[in-house]
Amino acid sequence: MGMSWIKTKVGAFCPFTYGKAIKKSEQVSNGYPVYGSNGIYTYSEIALAGPYVVIIGRKGSVGKVHLSESPCWVSDTAFYVMFDSLDEAYFTYYLLSTLGLESMNTDAAVPGLNRENAHRLEIKVPKNASLRQRLVKPLIDLDKKIKNSEQTNQTLEQIAQAIFKSWFVDFEPVKAKMEALEAGGSQEEALLAAMQAISGKDKSQLTQLQTENPENYNQLRTTAELFPSAMQDSEQGEIPEGWLLEPFSNIARLDTTSVKPAKEPEKIWEHYSIPAFDDGMSPAFDLGANIKSNKYRVFPESVLVSKLNPHFPRTWLPDVLDSNAAICSTEFMQFVPIKPSQRAFVAGVVKSDSFQNGIMMRVTGSTGSRQRAQPKQVAEMEVLLPSEELRNIYSVLIAPQLESQASNIREALNLANVRDALLPKLLSGQLQVNSTDQVHTKLPDDKDEHDLNALISEIENDLPPKSHFVVHGSSRKQRHKLGMIGYSTTITGDLGQGGAEYFKLPAFLSELRSNKILQGVFSTVVDSATGVPFLMVVITAVLNKFLGEKVKLDQKTAIVLLSFPENRTCKVSKLLNESNRLSLNAGLSPFDEDELSGTLKRLKVHGLVTHRDRTFTEWALVEKFDHKGARRP
């Protein structure tokens, strides 16, 4: 059933209310969140609005839209709209995010959003609340997945910091040994006490671990042996015996290698900026022509620490995709581990309370918004260094967590890209949601289902014949000369009447993408959802007809195959982005990482793709496909 839409204006649908200033004396460390134009910045004992609130930046971050799912205070730098229904709050939040409010600045000196100008904006919305709720459900589901990834990362971060604090700040394994020895225990008993402090297991659980998993038990024992059993005096108080206070620069160098992106205006740069950190810790990808100032080159193993306003700590471990294009703002201090394998330990030091307090003591600037830490002074701060072996063990232990965090950020970014692409199309009516909450493309008025076979025939007539893409049994040398890439098969139908044949799959996919009839189709897939009918039905039908009866692809599997680039090799993260663009605009549900992984494995079973590494992070179209029942060349 279609949706009934009405035309109205922002002021009639969701009138903005001015926020109110909050005094410094009324701000508390815990309570109701206080929103400014850029989000939460403090807390209050009382709420101004609720139960659900959409906040719109008025001064500063003009037009930036936030959603509070609980009562809150809104400062005088923002407008707000209150709701009794969370679904209605979500709809308005998404709606306002598509209106370009951020470009409606009316004050040259201090950016400002004029309420009356915003109220005059014309909008189109579904007539009743249930339809609005159904429309934004796919967006809410995506945002929940993003939030789950963020919460998982927070948990992983808390675990890493808790281990670092236990080992290198509170010295719990050292103190456990000392207490055991002071109680008259043996060295073995002291070692077992340290093992308990490290693992959180009691003696009976350690005995069980030794029986069931001796390898893990021995690794735990080796780690415990590395902690000393005594303390020594130092300038910073008592520290474990044998550990040293040394300049931070002894384990990480401050790197300020300068890059001028504007000198390569057509190059796309992987830009780690302060706003990108604040917007989900995902780098921006900017043309050099749009980056006016110099930047620092980013090294893959680096740890980035914001020197700007360090009372809001920002520590970033960049997941660099292209080391030749990775740059960061000069507002970051870039510390590169002397030993890259110890990156996790360096990050633990930087995130520790003592290091962050040290940064705050090396700040210049009188106002909160202009304070900056002094990088060279920070680099020379004294830090406590345990033995090399302990630094290595901690780093090995935490490294998988860091990779999981990076993977979760990539997944959240992919989901956000899908959401941001889906958002304007849903709220403009280009995409609709049916009663089962499935997104589908709105069909053009001049087409109907009976056009399917005619369109397939038209495409086939314009493509080269099957024989153009087939090489029959031949020598390896001849196949190489022909540039044949694809699979070997006994293709049914017009071809393959007995004997091995090699289908040039990438050549066929390239021809399909560049076909004059399908150029518009693929352009629509990539750029908008204005509605080419039977989009993936047609393309999938053509693929299956050319590939033969023994390989049958569904629409989403065909999408993944079509997402491979011309050079045949692609990282999973890029495949996910491209597959989701095609899926979204074809009116199909987006992929998540698990679904993409399963699809790639099915394509591998068919023999059409293969993985390029043991971690399954890079895939490629195969050189040859030995179809079941076919004769090997």
Of 462, 484, 481, nearest in space to 471 by CA = 484
Give exposure, 295-308, as e/b (b: 16+ Cβ within 10 Å): bbbbbebbbbbbbb
Q: Which residues contact 311 (CB under 8 A, 6 or more apart)?
A: 360, 368, 371
* Other beta carbons less than 10 A from residue 577's beta carbon: 18
- Predicted local distance difference test score (pLDDT) of residue 445: 43
pLDDT digits (tens, 9 = 90+) for 202-248: 999 999 999 999 999 999 999 999 999 999 999 989 999 999 999 99
Q: Domains of the chain by range and CATH?
A: 5-127 (3.90.220.20), 247-385 (3.90.220.20), 438-621 (1.10.10.10)
- Predicted local distance difference test score (pLDDT) of residue 525: 38
- Cβ–Cβ under 8 Å, residues 72 and 32: yes
Three-state DSSP state, 470: strand
Q: Whole-angstrom Cα distance, residue 421 to residue 301?
A: 32
- Predicted local distance difference test score (pLDDT) of residue 378: 96
Of 588, 603, 619, nearest in space to 547 by CA = 603
Adjacent-strand bridge partners of 33: 43
In single-letter form, the type of residue at position 483 comes to: G
- Cβ–Cβ under 8 Å, residues 138 and 426: yes
- Predicted local distance difference test score (pLDDT) of residue 481: 38
- Which region, left, alpha or beta, applies to residue 100 given φ > 0 means left and ψ of -120 to 50 means alpha? left
Strands 303-306 and 315-316 turn out to be antiparallel
What strands, in cross-sheet order, belong to the sheet with 258-259?
A: 258-259, 295-297, 326-328, 268-272, 284-287
pLDDT digits (tens, 9 = 90+) for 80-118: 999 999 999 999 999 999 998 988 876 655 668 999 999
Of 510, 489, 466, nearest in space to 625 by CA = 489
Q: Which residues of the chain have pLDDT under 50?
A: 1, 439-450, 474-499, 520-521, 523-533, 626-633
Residue 66 dihedral angles phi and psi, to the nearest 5°: -125, 160
Q: pTM of this prediction?
A: 0.68
- Predicted local distance difference test score (pLDDT) of residue 299: 96
- Predicted local distance difference test score (pLDDT) of residue 483: 39
Q: Which two tokens stand for residue 125?
A: 């919305």
Q: Whole-angstrom Cα distance, residue 558 to residue 608?
A: 11
- Cβ–Cβ under 8 Å, residues 405 and 156: yes
Q: Which two tokens stand for residue 606?
A: 């068919």
| Maximum Cα–Cα distance across the chain | 91
Which helix (H) or strand (E) segment is 48 a member of? none
Q: Whole-angstrom Cα distance, residue 558 to residue 521?
A: 15
In single-letter form, the type of residue at position 218 comes to: N
